[in-house]
Amino acid sequence: RFSLYSQLLAASHRIPLSSLHVTLKGSYLPFSNQPNSIMGTATEKEEIRRLFDPSEDICTQNIPRSELIIYNPKKQTSELQMTCETRPFPFRDTGTLVIHLHGACHGNGKLNSNAKASYGIYLGPGSRYNTEELLPSSLPQTSTCADVYGLAHALEIVKNIAKDDARLERVKIATDSRFLIQAMTEWMNMWIEHKGFTPQGRPVAHFETLRNLHDSLNYLESAEGGYEVQFWHVPREMNKEAYALAYAALDDV
């Protein structure tokens, strides 16, 4: 049903679990509080690709955060509210799709333990697309890995929705994972150029999976795909529904 997710999962099954753990332990998981020389980020003047910030977008900067997202019960998806020069009062943008994603883990990063990871995907109250899923035991049980595979699942949901929604043009993926956002908006081209390593020679965790996701995003954004896909960093309190779904999966274990 979820082809990209299934392909990534199948690829992981061809790698011994011990190798995945070694790769995770010895690989580089950069975070935003590290210097730019280490991360290899875009220059300050360069517009960061795929990054959505409603406070800087002319169509959404005047909408209160609490009113930005509105649920469409007919489609069972969430959409943005916005304004424009010709329509100064807030209106529903039926061409947008907002997906919230959160990766969670009990015992995060503890190798050879009983750690379990999961992700939650939220599209609105009671939406048939809402998802709570445990990571297979063959994968590293970390919240970062859960974010990565949760994104793969979310992109398959986007593709399934797009089949029946001719108006869909813009996708906003909201997450509180800085790693996932910066990987998809800033770092991937640099990592690809260095064949899965940072400029300092450290291997990047989950590189092959991230590259496959990057390729899938490139296709969605191409002329053939025709969509704009952007990532939106939200605080945990704005991602509580996806958070709850992720931990509901862990509570069921």
Q: Is 73 exposed, middle or buried (0-12, 13-18, 19+ CB in 10 A)?
A: exposed
Structurally, the chain folds into a number of domains equal to: 1
Q: What is the DSSP string of 42-72?
A: PPTTSPPTTB--TTT-TTTTTS-GGGSEEEE
| Per-residue three-class SS string for 213-227 | HHHHHHHHHCCCCCC
Domain assignment present for 76: yes
Look up residue 222 and give its two tokens: 């191409």
CA angle 51, 101, 58 (to 5 degrees): 30
Task: Determine how β-strand 77-84 pairs with β-strand 69-72.
Answer: antiparallel
Q: What is the pLDDT of residue 5?
A: 60
Domain assignment present for 39: no
Domain assignment present for 20: no
pLDDT digits (tens, 9 = 90+) for 79-123: 999 999 899 899 999 999 999 999 999 988 666 578 999 999 999
CATH of the domain at 221: 3.30.420.10
Domain assignment present for 165: yes
* Top-confidence range, 175-184, 198-207, 244-253: 175-184
pLDDT digits (tens, 9 = 90+) for 129-155: 999 999 999 999 999 999 999 999 999
Element housing 146 (H / E): helix 143-164
Domain assignment present for 35: no
Domain assignment present for 232: yes
Domain assignment present for 70: yes
- Phi and psi at residue 206, to the nearest 5°: 60, 30
